[in-house]
A and B are shown apart, each in its own frame.
Chain A
Amino acid sequence: MSNIINEAPEHIDPRLPGGFQLPPFGIHQFLALMIVCVALWALGTVWLGLQGAQQWVGSWQNNIQLHVYLPVDKRDKLGELKVKLSSVEGVSSVRHISRREASEWMQSWLGGTSLNVEKFSRQLPESLELTLADERNEFLFSDIRDEAAILGATVNEDEVQLANAHELVQSIRKMVWFVTIILALAMALIVSNTLRMTLLARADEVHLMRLLGAKEWFVRMPFILEGTLLGAGAALLAWLLLWPLVLGLSSWADNMGISLSPFALLLPLIIGGALVGCFGATIATAKLVSPDSVDN
């Protein structure tokens, strides 16, 4: 091919249609790239937010625990409380935190101080650590609260809120998947529409290739390639545009103990974008009829 290019005048770029030859990149493709990029950027942002939220409640993801406190003056009811809490549906185990363990925890919480914390820890209420089952009913925390209240104990409400936040994140995750699928379909339609315009503009070429006996893959491949590359290109651009967002939010994220990593989104975005583009191109070329087609 090099000799062809050498022989051609400078402004000519010989491009033979069909097969693995990409159609020219025009304004329609640029617009589609931008639209798909914005949609993928929005998706990337949502998934990044979800990543942060999951990190925020990260310690709760696999081993959800809750603490119930019994005042020191009601220590005699500890055994009864443990039995009652164990019987609550959705509680998988109940463990008593010994005074020594509490002292050690307080020592470390105070930064390994040389103070004798035993005196303080004696003032701490008795603590029961509840491990929750994966399957939980909506009244679990109310049931625990009720059982604890009967014997004068209290539940760590911050932990309850965190557990609820975890539930919320799980629900949001499902919604994000739903939004992802809807947006993926929308993007596929955008790619499909763009390629339909390209196909209309190149209907003569497609017709001619068929008249010359071209195989269907040969006729359709340029458009499938274009759709796939359009999706992957938009995804790469969207991923690059996530960085200003991440860098802008870095100090806030640090304060929250969150470390956002766009690298985790790179492959999913590019593969997803390419698949969506390929799907859109497949839709566009599914009904590619020409006069004199064999199946007419």
Chain B
Amino acid sequence: MLKPNLRFVSINADRALLHRYCFPMSDDKQIIHMQQLMLRYPAGKVALSGVSLSISKGDFVYLTGESGAGKSTLLRMFYGGLIPSSGRLSVQQWDMRGVAEGDVRELRQRTGIIFQDHKLLFSRTVFENVALPLRVQGWEKERLVPRVRKVLEFVGLDDRLWSYPEALSGGEQQRIAIARAMVTNPPVILADEPTGNLDEETARRVLDLLMSLNRNGTTVIMATHDLHLLTSHPGRLIQLHQGSLIGDSQMENSQAGYSYE
């Protein structure tokens, strides 16, 4: 495991400081805001407890933590796949507690989602996979091809328009998943372990793509185990442990690599 040159400022020790950090004055730039968020599954297991933080537009956020820490659960809550048991969660101005079905659909149309297992449709071509979100949003057929071609160019797979996903490598499949997530130009992209099954070089390329999207103004929230990637791709690091927030720090570029401040 690579050990990047990181300096951590733990904010776990001072909850008051954490709260102040997470809840600045009401800010229109906040795209996700949560306060004392809790999720308890019907079976009784508490997946998230007392999580409070805010994510601003244009942030690149890494969600880290051990398996079962609540990373995926938190991501699912960001697109309405799970509804909080208590606390407050607003995503893109929608209050997710008691959110209406139609609002969840609208939220999902404004959110790009990348899964570790890609969730590509293997019986459909790359074009059909990438065009699906556009079709869901009622795009005219004539506009689909130029848009799909453009995003495939961005991920470097425009020559694979009519291929089937099974003919592509794992890295290519993940790039198709990124193309699908970005094709509607959503303000937020959620990525659940997008590099989990990829070798380091391919993972870096995937992360490059996400960084490019972020530079264009898209908020990217990515759950990951691959901390070594942070050396080359800095961002905000949110750490979860057993459903609780234990760290929230901004990682910045330094001459010797990247460090937290």
Contacts and interface: CB of A to CB of B under 8 A. Distances in A.
A14 B132 CA distance: 11
A213 B136 contact: yes
Given A214-B105, A291-B81, A294-B101, A1 B142 contact: yes
A3 B144 CA distance: 11
Given A1-B141, A16-B132, A208 B119 contact: yes
B162 interface: yes
Given A212-B108, A213-B108, A218-B136, A14 B125 contact: yes
A112 interface: no
B251 interface: no
Contacts of B79: 211, 292
A202 to B, nearest CB: 9
User: Chain B at the A interface: mostly helix, strand, loop or mixed?
Assistant: helix
A212 B145 contact: no
Contact of A16 (B76, B80, B131): B131
B255 to A, nearest CB: 42
A19 interface: yes
A12 B109 contact: no
Interface string B176-197: 0000000000000000000000
B7 interface: no
B133 interface: yes
B205 interface: no
A218 B133 CA distance: 12
For chain A, give the interface size range.
20 to 34
Interface in A184-213: 204-205, 207-213
Contact of B135 (A8, A18, A292): A18
Interface string B96-124: 00000100111111110100000101001
Given A3-B145, A19-B135, A294 B76 contact: no
Contacts of A119: none
B128 interface: yes
Nearest to B137: A213
A15 interface: yes
Interface in A1-29: 1, 3-4, 7-9, 12, 14-19
A214 B137 CA distance: 7
A7 B104 CA distance: 36
Contacts of A295: 101
Interface string A221-261: 00000000000000000000000000000000000000000
A208 B121 contact: yes
Contacts of B258: none
B127 interface: yes
B146 to A, nearest CB: 10
Given A209-B132, A212-B132, A17 B119 contact: no
Given A9-B162, A211-B113, A213-B105, A14 B127 contact: yes
Contacts of A19: 135
Nearest to A291: B81
Contacts of B101: 294-295
Nearest to B76: A292
Contacts of A213: 104-111, 136-137
17 contacts: A1-B141, A8-B127, A9-B162, A16-B132, A18-B132, A18-B135, A208-B121, A209-B132, A213-B104, A213-B105, A213-B106, A213-B107, A213-B137, A292-B76, A294-B80, A294-B101, A294-B104
Interface of B: 76, 79-82, 101, 104-111, 113, 119, 121, 124-125, 127-128, 131-133, 135-137, 141-142, 144-145, 161-162
10 cross-chain pairs, A with B, having the tightest CB-CB distances, nearest first: A213-B108, A292-B81, A213-B109, A213-B105, A1-B141, A214-B136, A294-B101, A16-B135, A294-B104, A212-B136
